[in-house]
Amino acid sequence: MITLIEKIGFPLSDENISVIESCAKIIKNGGLVAFPTETVYGLGANALIPDAVKGIYAAKGRPSDNPLIVHINDIDTLNLIAKNISNKAMLLIDKFWPGPLTIIFDKTDVIPKETAGGLDTVAVRMPKNEIAKLLIDKSGVPIAAPSANLSGKPSPTKASHVIDDLNGKVNAIIDGGSSDIGLESTVIDMSTDIPCILRPGAITKSMIESVIGNVILDKNLLNEHEKPKSPGMKYKHYAPDADIILVQGNNINNVVNKIIELSNSYTNKNIGIICTEETKDFYKNYNNVISLGSKNNTETIAKNLFDTFREFNKLNVDIIFAEGLPEENLELAIMNRLKKASGYNIINV
Ligand code: TXA
Ligand code: MG
């Protein structure tokens, strides 16, 4: 398959809009289009056509029991695909949509089982990115879209990541620049009595609690041995090709010293180090050191994480030592991705 690659700039020109219109037509008619969102790039298909949705699983190599997020642009479409929408869910919608929050509802029969991975629920998100919004509008259908990476690879935060993974496997890739947030959306289950966060993201637990009161974290987020409620969270994810060892501790000097000790002990391996602006100078003697940004700017760290994983693939490192962060607010989401990428290979100091 020849993949159209279309670059879009802001503000959108008439030419940009007609490119998005032709991509919308591809989606409406059952094809696959990768597109930018504010979180990560998505691989979109018409959520109402089972064969189109099967195309997503095939292109990504994704297990078919892992349901997709349906992207919409208005509440009428939500009412078409979801039912039993609670008042608390409406409060979250009012506050956080459009934006990086995915909400799980009971599904209606409009959503085929392929889209829902065989579940009775459907995950729904209203993205904020202008290109994503226009694509949904012009296609006139809800768009099922997982992250536009090969299954198991880090989610794409740049069009070049999508091209590396999916060129030749999808009809079109829309290049809309780097993702603003760089981590996938927060997923919250509102189909149960007690709202439960299944995947942490940029909309944090405390932001949600300020709107609807107490919510819980899925048990798997507190203890990796618990079975996650979200099918996708059980797979090793987001991983670079090299093994990652995560070094965690309250005292950053101890963390740095441990990473230096480990780096010196793996003499026959090509090692990489993931650190912050504050610590990078401690690793001057090592070659493959990437700072994610200042520890005081977690938005930047979130934005750089997946790109850094992919950079390490180019450097051909065998093993990566990564500094841990305190697990609160946005850092909870960053640490969730890092822990999963490490396969829970964690050293506490
Ligand atoms: O930011 C994002 O959410 C991006 C952009 C493209 O919107 N999408 C994304 O999709 O990350 P994906 O498929 O890579 O991750 C969706 C997660 C998976 O862990 C999946 O198992 C979970 O959401 N999920 C989807 N539907 C679900 C459902 N009905 N119940 C529980 N978990 C669900
Ligand atoms: Mg994904």
SS3 209: helix
CA–CA gap between residue 23 and residue 77 (Å, rounded) = 20
Which residue, judged by its Cα, is nearest atom 17 of ligand 1? 232
Q: How many Å apart are CA 269 and CA 340, to the nearest integer?
A: 22
Handedness of CA 12, 14, 16, 17 (dihedral sign): positive
Residue ranges of the domains in the chain?
A: 4-217, 243-348
**What span, in angstroms and rounded, lies between the C-alpha atoms of 58 and 255?**
41
Supply the pLDDT for residue 82. Answer: 98
Burial (CB < 10 A; 0-12, 13-18, 19+), residue 243, is: middle
Predicted pLDDT at 231: 81
Predicted local confidence at residue 241, as pLDDT: 83
With a 6 A CB cut-off, is 34 part of the ligand 1 pocket? no
Q: What spatial distance separates the first Cα and last Cα of the chain, rounded to whole Å? A: 50
Ion ligand 2: residue ranges with CB closer than 5 A: 146-147
* pLDDT for the residue 64: 86
Atom of ligand 1 minimally distant from the CA of 41:
6
pLDDT at res. 235: 64
9 CA distance to ligand 2 middle (Å): 25
Ligand that lies nearest to the alpha carbon of residue 40, given by its number in the listed order: 1
What pLDDT does 237 receive? 61
From the list 299, 37, 29, 311, the residue with the least C-alpha distance to 147 is 37
Tell if the pTM clears 0.95, that is, is over it: yes
pLDDT digits (tens, 9 = 90+) for 106-155: 999 999 999 999 999 999 999 999 999 999 999 999 999 999 999 989 99
- The answer to whether 294 and 270 are in contact (CB under 8 A) is no
For residue 121, list its beta bridge partners: 106
pLDDT of residue 28: 98
Q: Is the CB of 171 under 6 A from ligand 1?
A: no
Query: In a structure prediction context, what are the per-residue pLDDT tens digits for the chain, which is 349 residues long?
Result: 999 999 999 999 999 999 999 999 999 999 999 999 999 999 999 999 999 999 999 999 998 889 999 999 999 999 999 999 999 999 999 999 999 999 999 999 999 999 999 999 999 999 999 999 999 999 999 999 999 999 989 999 999 999 999 999 999 999 999 999 999 999 999 999 999 999 999 999 999 999 999 999 999 998 888 888 888 777 666 677 899 999 999 999 999 999 999 999 998 999 999 999 999 999 999 999 999 999 999 999 999 999 999 999 999 999 999 999 999 899 999 999 999 999 999 999 9
Q: Which of 64, 174, 187, 236 to mutate to test the pocket of ligand 1 (most atoms within 8 A of CB)?
A: 187
CA 127 and chain centroid, separation: 13
Structure confidence at residue 65 (pLDDT): 87
Q: Give 4-217's CATH code, choosing from 3.10.129.10, 3.20.20.150, 3.40.50.720, 3.90.870.10.
A: 3.90.870.10
Under CATH, which architecture does the 243-348 domain have?
Answer: 3-Layer(aba) Sandwich (3.40)
